[in-house]
């Protein structure tokens, strides 16, 4: 199967401290990074199976600051997770900065690139952003939405499963499955 395994690059974007590295590491290694100073690898690859087909998911971590390196990653990404923390309203309000950069750099393809809005740290009792705000915002820009917790593992595998399914729905010619409904 390895020669035919498809590779999907998923780029993680979002403000400083929202949990991008923690979600990437949790998905790839099942470890939670409780120490903020630990640096995860920039690219972590995990194999997932969706409806009998294997996919190598390259999870690409970025810095919060918009750099030319991030622009390069945005240009090459197959799918995007744009993340905020439910404990930090500013990180939610900054989502358009990241989304607009994707739309700018991927003008030709922005309608066929999976983008999912993720509210991380949903384990926290002390919230600044309620679930409904995340859902409403995502609906308004026709993006998928999910809350996750890298700490207690909520929706981590589900998140990447949804991304692969969304990617398949945009690339039916590259998938063996006849029909995939999310
Ligand atoms: N409670 C809780 N804390 C989390 C969660 N995810 C990450 N954290 C904590 O939030 C802090 C920041 O997490 P990181 O994964 O380093 O955030 P980041 O988005 O990669 O930050 P930068 O690399 O600085 O942009 C760390 O102290 C993590 O332990 C979560 O789901 N729940
Ligand atoms: Mg990080």
Q: What is the CATH number of the domain that holds 90?
A: 3.40.50.300
Relative to the CA of 14, which ligand 1 atom is closest? 19
Classify residue 175: in a domain, yes or no.
no
Residues 154-163 pLDDT 10s = 999 999 999 9
Residues 102-137 pLDDT 10s = 999 998 776 789 999 999 999 999 999 999 999 999
Classify residue 19: in a domain, yes or no.
yes
Non-local (6+) Cβ contacts of 49 within 8 A are 55
Is the per-residue pLDDT at 177 higher than 90?
A: no
Classify residue 16: in a domain, yes or no.
yes
Residues 55-101 pLDDT 10s = 999 999 998 777 788 899 999 999 999 999 999 999 999 999 999 99
Q: Enter the tokens of residue 102.
A: 């994707």
Mutate to test the pocket of ligand 1, among 20, 22, 70, 127 (most ligand atoms within 8 A of CB): 22
Classify residue 181: in a domain, yes or no.
no
Judge if the beta carbon of residue 16 lies within 6 A of ligand 1: yes
Classify residue 58: in a domain, yes or no.
yes
Q: What is the mean pLDDT of the chain?
A: 88
Classify residue 135: in a domain, yes or no.
yes
Q: Which residues surround the ion ligand 2 when the cut-off is CB under 5 Å?
A: 20-21
- Boundaries of domain holding 73: 6-170
Judge if the beta carbon of residue 33 lies within 6 A of ligand 1: yes
Report how far residue 7's alpha carbon sits from residue 128's, in angstroms, rounded to the nearest whole number.
Answer: 36
Classify residue 69: in a domain, yes or no.
yes
Judge if the beta carbon of residue 91 lies within 6 A of ligand 1: no
Q: How many domains does the chain have?
A: 1
Query: Which residue's CA is the nearest one to ligand 1's atom 25?
Result: 16
Classify residue 182: in a domain, yes or no.
no
3-class state of residue 59 by DSSP: strand
pLDDT given at position 180: 39
């Amino acid at each position: 199967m390895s020669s035919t395994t498809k590779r999907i690059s998923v780029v993680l974007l979002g403000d400083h401290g929202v949990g991008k590295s923690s979600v990437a590491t949790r998905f790839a290694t099942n470890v939670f990074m409780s120490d903020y100073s630990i640096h995860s690898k920039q690219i972590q690859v995990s194999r997932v199976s969706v409806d009998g087909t294997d996919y190598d998911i390259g999870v690409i971590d970025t810095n919060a600051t918009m750099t030319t390196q991030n622009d390069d990653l945005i240009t090459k990404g197959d799918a995007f997770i744009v993340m905020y923390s439910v404990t930090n309203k500013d990180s939610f309000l900054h989502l358009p900065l990241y989304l607009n950069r994707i739309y700018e750099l991927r003008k030709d393809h922005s309608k066929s690139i999976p983008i999912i809005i993720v509210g991380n740290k949903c384990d926290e009792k002390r919230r600044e952003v309620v679930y409904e705000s995340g859902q409403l915002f995502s609906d308004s820009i026709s993006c998928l939405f999910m809350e996750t917790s890298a700490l207690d593992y909520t929706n981590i595998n589900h998140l990447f499963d949804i991304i692969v399914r969304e990617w398949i729905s945009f690339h039916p010619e590259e998938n063996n499955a006849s029909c995939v409904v999310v």
